[in-house]
Amino acid sequence: MIEINNLKKRFGPKIVIDGVTFNIPDGDTICIIGKSGSGKSVMLKHIVGLLSPDEGCVKVDRMQINKLSKKQIFDIRKQMGFVFQSAALFDSLTVFENSILGMYEHGNRNFDELEKESIRVLSAVQLLPDINDVGETAFQKEWQILKNKKPSDLSGGMKKRVGVARALVGNPKYIFYDEPTTGLDPVTSQQIDELIANLANNLSMTSVVITHDMFSVFRIAKTVAMLHDGKLRYFGDVEGLKNSNDDVVSEFVDRFILKA
């Protein structure tokens, strides 16, 4: 479980997060929404230990993040996967090399283990076919083609999937998505949303999604947290969000519906 208790953070005179409290139970898929500058990304950085709060705390599995040693932070981050907004693939590396970068950086040089994990995670994000459907020969052919591709050979949606695959290495308990559908066309955005939902259900992981895309919220969220001017303006399910009587919340949702 992720516990956020009375979290406060300012940068100079600007209060970015102002006394926010909520919990994210294990297995939940939560979308954190709000206008630009509302504190969404700052909240995420506190959860993964990149920022320390001015007041309050964040706990992951009952451990207070800002009180952990470097080794403890390193260990807990092994339970976290992170999908960056732009996928953040290394242009000079192949799909295979990008997908297992974390394992390699942690010292694993066993090629068989690296290849096995790469195949597992790339299959999980549906970049490889089911071997039971196509057979060993066809599967190996697809694998050899995919593993040697560079990011420049991939579509935007495929890059996102490789980014997600990399985050799945090691079977993390938590996975964090930073604007996962930004820059994608509507069809590809829906495919990525379906992927996020399927992974959450099939792998029983906790998913935290920072997004401006309300289509994504309506498709994947079990819980929604809306930040406004540094405060928690809404916390609940999607239906409650749609039917909220809060002026700020309803205006945010209504503007999306009108644009859609």
Q: What is the pLDDT of residues 179-212, one digit of tens each?
A: 998 888 889 999 999 999 999 988 889 999 999 8
Does residue 200 belong to any structural domain of this protein?
no
- Report how far residue 131's alpha carbon sits from residue 136's, in angstroms, rounded to the nearest whole number: 6
Same domain for 255 and 179:
yes
Q: State the residue range of the domain holding 96.
A: 86-171
Q: What CATH number does the domain containing 1 carry?
A: 3.40.50.300
162 burial via Cβ count (<10 Å: 0-12, 13-18, 19+): buried
Which one-letter DSSP state was computed for residue 56?
E
Confidence category of residue 257, pLDDT binned at 50, 70, 90: low
Which one-letter DSSP state was computed for residue 49?
T
Does residue 127 belong to any structural domain of this protein?
yes
| Confidence (pLDDT) at 260 | 47
| Confidence (pLDDT) at 102 | 85
What's the chain's average pLDDT? Answer: 92
Confidence category of residue 258, pLDDT binned at 50, 70, 90: low
Task: With beta carbons less than 8 A apart as the criterion, state whether 209 and 197 touch.
Answer: no
Among 171, 193, 220, identify where a domain stops: 171
- Looking at the structure of the chain, the number of domains it has is 2
- Report how far residue 84's alpha carbon sits from residue 87's, in angstroms, rounded to the nearest whole number: 5
Percent of the chain past pLDDT 90, that is, above it, reads 75
* 161: CB partners within 8 A, 6+ apart: 122, 125, 126, 127, 192, 195
Q: What phi and psi values does residue 83 have, to the nearest 5 degrees? A: -110, 115
Same domain for 257 and 128:
no
Taking only the tens place, the pLDDT of each residue in 51-98 is 999 999 999 999 999 999 989 998 898 899 999 887 789 999 999 999
Same domain for 180 and 56:
yes
Mean pLDDT for the stretch of residues 19-43: 93
| Confidence (pLDDT) at 109 | 85
Among 147, 171, 195, identify where a domain stops: 171
Mean pLDDT for the stretch of residues 121-139: 92
Same domain for 58 and 35:
yes
pTM more than 0.85? yes
Does residue 201 belong to any structural domain of this protein?
no
Does residue 197 belong to any structural domain of this protein?
no
Separation in Å, CA 211 to CA 18, 93, 125, 177:
20, 28, 20, 8
